[in-house]
């Protein structure tokens, strides 16, 4: 299963363990929208938009990012972590250690 990817084409076929692949286009679309929201906040600041309205946009942007992060994490647990767990051994513990650290960063950010 592990591959380093020779061609872009492979990227969808050769990384079956990256859980989000199935929804990849949806995640890409969400990140495009988030990038647009960031650009929107930039423009609001540039145009001296009322501060509170900018803060509202930033809260929306943060929530959108949080949604992407929770989705990726869920996919990761259901794929990488479950796969590692099924195989057993240290790998599963390592994966969970990583996941717990990522969860802690999300909760604190």
Subset of 53-72 contacting its own copies (CB under 8 A): 54-56, 58-63, 65-66, 68-70, 72
- Which pair of tokens denotes residue 43? 């423009």
Q: Pick from 6, 22, 75, 90 the residue near its own copies by CB under 8 A.
A: 75
User: By CB under 8 A, how many residues form the interface with its own copies?
Assistant: 71
Q: Are 44 and 53 in contact (CB under 8 A)?
A: yes
Instruction: Decide: is 94 part of the binding site for its own copies (CB under 8 A).
Output: no
Nearest-angstrom CA–CA distance, 40 and 71: 24
Give the helix ranges, DSSP H, for the chain.
Answer: 10-13, 24-46, 51-76, 82-87, 90-108
Instruction: Decide: is 91 part of the binding site for its own copies (CB under 8 A).
Output: no
Nearest approach in angstroms of CB 49 to its own copies is: 8
Instruction: Decide: is 82 part of the binding site for its own copies (CB under 8 A).
Output: yes
């Amino acid at each position: 299963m592990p591959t380093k990817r020779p061609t872009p084409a492979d990227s969808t076929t050769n990384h079956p363990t990256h859980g989000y692949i199935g929804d990849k286009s949806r995640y890409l679309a969400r990140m495009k929208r988030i990038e647009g929201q960031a650009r929107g906040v930039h423009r609001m600041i540039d145009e001296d938009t009322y501060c509170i309205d900018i803060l509202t946009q930033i809260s929306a942007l943060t929530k959108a990012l949080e949604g992407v992060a929770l989705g990726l994490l869920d996919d990761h647990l259901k794929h990488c972590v479950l796969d590692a767990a099924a195989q057993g051994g240290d790998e599963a513990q390592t994966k969970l250690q990583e996941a717990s650290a990522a969860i802690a960063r999300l909760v604190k950010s």
